Structure 1
Amino acid sequence: MENHISRIRSKLARAAAVPSLLESGGRRHLFRLNPPLSEEDVAWFEESREVTLPEAYRRFVLELGDGGAGPGLRMVPLHEAHDWDDLPHGFLATPSGLAPGTAHTRDWHDYPELRQGTLAVADLDCEYITQLVVTGPARGRLVNVNLAGWTRPVFAEDPDFLSWYERWLDELLAGWGVSLFGNKIPGDEPVLVDVLAHDPSADRRARAARSLISLPSIGQAGADVLAASIRDQDPAVRAAALLTAGAKRVAACEAPAREALTDPVADVRVQALLALHRLEPADLADRVRERLGDEEPAVARQAIYALKELGGLTAGDLEPLTTHPNPDLRNTAIRALRAAVDG
């Protein structure tokens, strides 16, 4: 743990000396931490909340700092980290129901007990926060949550707070993307490609595919595995691979993306449209136009958006959809008539 702390100090100083990092997210905090807390302050917090803080986090606030530089907008100071409104005494001491591998489908704002036993340690922006589990089976682990209930919780794979924080610095210094830090699987391209190709868990394969977006570029080995993953047996993996193929404009994924336009799962077809839009094949407009007649309204709507951006949308394309029984698709088609090239 001593090595963690000394390395973090050194890496914070290195990050503060990189102009490009200061010009991006680092300008909010300049890679500076707030002053550390005293042992008395931490002991008072623990006694008043009837908990003992996880050791790695406790060492951080005692020896490094209490909030400041960190993932997202900032690290949250301890006195704000348990500032939930209208929560009963003992809420932090009540075991959290959050644990890796547990499915949570309920909206966060409707079920505050899903926040119990946790501290909000990082503000990632747009209702996303990183919570540290203080009480419960996942004690010491970090999990990204959206308090509006838009997405399910995602546990960082790091074993403790210091490992998580140091990885944030490592990935920043390596030039990797750190948006929603903690969602990415730890590791470089070979590690992520191995997970994508061989992990028995479809959830981890999909997460590995999305994690590749964070890298500055994807090499040939990664491109080949990503292309193969568009044909994965699990639709979530196929959709994630298409998402990354489009985001990184991976040319090797064009052929399987074309195949995915007729995938049995609608979300995969939507992602195929998005990916091909970024890859820009010569016959893109023709392939997109074919999906205007898709049985799933969400796919047809995406085809309208794509053709509109391509400048090839015609009134003839839209006319059959202006009387579609699905109101969202019907309204999208009617509004898009104004952008039709022959309108």
Structure 2
Amino acid sequence: MNASIWAGVRQRVQSLVAAPGSNRVFGAVGHKFFLEDPLTLAELADLEGQMGVSLPEEYRDFLVHVGAGGAGPAHGVYPARLIQGRWRWEGDGAELADLSRLAEPFPREGANPEAVQALLSKRPEEEDFEEIEDFDDAIEAWNERWEPLMFSSDRTVGATVISTLGCAAREWLIISGPERGRIWSDNRADDEDLKPLLDGNGGPMTFARWYLTWLEEAERQPAPVPAAD
């Protein structure tokens, strides 16, 4: 394993506990810059063996050199935990991931993309109805078709939920397929499709870039200005 990109990262995160202004970092009120203990190599092997897949290298190294989860982007990195002999990720919406299908390639174009776009184009608009009750009935009928299609587990095979921004907005780590090792944004609760998370230059956000960008921004958080006397 190449741990060079994670050298000193655990200590940097832990030092933020006492850093001026760190409590203003988004999500810090919840995770308090706490990191779970790293996994042992034996635990990592057991996790991957149960899942039937090799995790992306940057994430594998994070698990054994930084922590199994905890402080990180948004409300933190979902921890990988062994519960009653079975590994799983824990956090809001973690159950959306089908852990039995992590080895299947993630469909970066989405499952049934034509059907999704066709239905999205037919979403009712309030201004098209004279009575609000008619609009409510139309949007309810549309949602009954939209939600099973958009939230089908076929759309997120080969991926696991890794973090949440709150209000059902989540981020996924892609485990298998061409997008392996990258982070995807999930705002389906706001009728937006899954999409790749991009860095400031428009490039794909890998797990390491995602995490280290957060850490660098947290370290730059300015201290609060003292109140004037």
Q: Is the partner of 1:28 in helix, strand or coil? A: helix
Q: Any residues of structure 2 matched to 1:189-200 within 5 Å, and which?
A: none
Q: Is the partner of 2:13 in helix, strand or coil? A: helix
Tell me, yes or no, if structure 1 residue 144 matches structure 2 residue 145: no
Within 2, Cα distance between the matches of 1:90 and 1:59? 23
Whether the aligned pair in 2 keeps the contact of 1:4 and 1:163 (CA below 8 Å) is no
Which structure has the highest helix share of the two? 1
Within 2, Cα distance between the matches of 1:170 and 1:151? 29
Change (3 A) 1:86 1:130: closer
Greater CA drift, 22-31 or 138-147? 22-31
Greater CA drift, 78-87 or 110-119? 78-87
TM-score by length of 2: 0.65
Whether the aligned pair in 1 keeps the contact of 2:162 and 2:172 (CA below 8 Å) is yes
Structure 2 residue runs of 5 or longer lacking an equivalent are: 81-87, 121-145, 199-203, 223-229
Within 2, Cα distance between the matches of 1:141 and 1:151? 19
Computing the radius of gyration from Cα coordinates, the structure with the larger value is 1
Q: CA offset at residue 36 of structure 1?
A: 1.1
2:50 maps to which residue? 48
TM-score by length of 1: 0.45
Whether the aligned pair in 2 keeps the contact of 1:15 and 1:169 (CA below 8 Å) is no
Q: Any residues of structure 2 matched to 1:224-263 within 5 Å, and which?
A: none
Which structure has the highest strand share of the two? 2
Q: CA offset at residue 50 of structure 1?
A: 1.2
Q: Any residues of structure 2 matched to 1:1-343 within 5 Å, and which?
A: 1-24=2-25, 25-78=27-80, 79-80=88-89, 83-84=94-95, 87=98, 90-98=100-108, 105=117, 109-148=150-189, 150-157=191-198, 158=204, 160-175=206-221
Within 1, Cα distance between the matches of 2:46 and 2:75? 27
Change (3 A) 1:9 1:116: same
Moved over 4 A (4+): 103-109
Query: Aligned AA for 1:29?
Result: H
Within 2, Cα distance between the matches of 1:86 and 1:116? 7
Change (3 A) 1:51 1:70: same
1:181 maps to which residue? none
Within 2, Cα distance between the matches of 1:122 and 1:128? 9
Structure 1 residue runs of 5 or longer lacking an equivalent are: 177-343
- How many residue pairs align between the two structures? 173
Q: Is the partner of 2:95 in helix, strand or coil? A: coil
Q: CA offset at residue 99 of structure 1?
A: 6.2
Q: CA offset at residue 86 of structure 1?
A: 9.2
Q: CA offset at residue 7 of structure 1?
A: 4.3
